[in-house]
Amino acid sequence: MHPGLQVADAGADVAVEFLIEPFVEGVPGSHVDAALTAFASRNLPVDLGPFSSVSSGSLEAIGEAIGAMVVDAMRSGATNINLSVALDADRLGAATLHDALEGMMRAAQRDLGTDASTWSRADKQRVVRMLDERGAFLLRGAVDDIAVAMGVSRITIYNYLNAISSRNDAMSNGDVE
């Protein structure tokens, strides 16, 4: 063993962070419910966040919950599960928020079945809507990064976002069916 290496003993608490896809804000779906149930059935509370969910508990309980979550969520329609386990919650999230944005873009490419360079205008608008629903534009620099990935200007991304906002406003006012 390496000197200074920290290891988890059988009773140690560990933390897990996970993201179940597909993700649609406000509509978790049976695949997300299955994942949450895997933790709840082991009396492990889950903190639901905008980008991922976090739980902590004994190594054994977290290990069992993760195994059940993967099986149950995938059987219930999950297409991807991002997972990080650490000795404590402070060590989670070592990946940057930029990594989260890249992950959202990869998920969009998987969802559309094509590379961003081949997307039509309608595809790009759909992806911007999906990224907006996932909170991607809350990340600093996201507009610029997404514009580069899509091969459009940042003004185009803002135009797509304005169109989404206008449509949402119209729908909430009953102006659109």
- Span 13-91 CATH architecture: 2-Layer Sandwich (3.30)
Cα 95 → chain centroid? 13
User: pLDDT higher for 99 or 33?
Assistant: 33
The yes-or-no verdict on residue 10 having pLDDT over 70 is no
The yes-or-no verdict on residue 156 having pLDDT over 80 is yes
| pLDDT digits 0-9 by tens, 118-153 | 999 999 999 999 888 878 888 788 899 899 989 999
The yes-or-no verdict on residue 63 having pLDDT over 70 is yes
The yes-or-no verdict on residue 102 having pLDDT over 50 is yes
Helix ranges restricted to H, the chain = 29-40, 59-75, 97-112, 121-133, 142-150, 154-172
The yes-or-no verdict on residue 6 having pLDDT over 60 is no
Bridge-partner residues for 57, per DSSP? Answer: 14
Number of residues that this document lists for the chain: 177
Share of the chain above pLDDT 70, in %: 80
Cα distances (angstroms) measured from residue 11 to each of 8, 63, 107? 8, 12, 36
**Do the Cβ atoms of 14 and 86 come closer than 8 Å?**
yes
pTM above 0.75, yes or no: no
Question: d(Cα 85, Cα 14) in Å, to the nearest integer?
Answer: 7
Give me the residue spans of the domains in the chain.
13-91, 97-172
**Do the Cβ atoms of 71 and 44 come closer than 8 Å?**
no
Q: Which two tokens stand for residue 167?
A: 């449509």
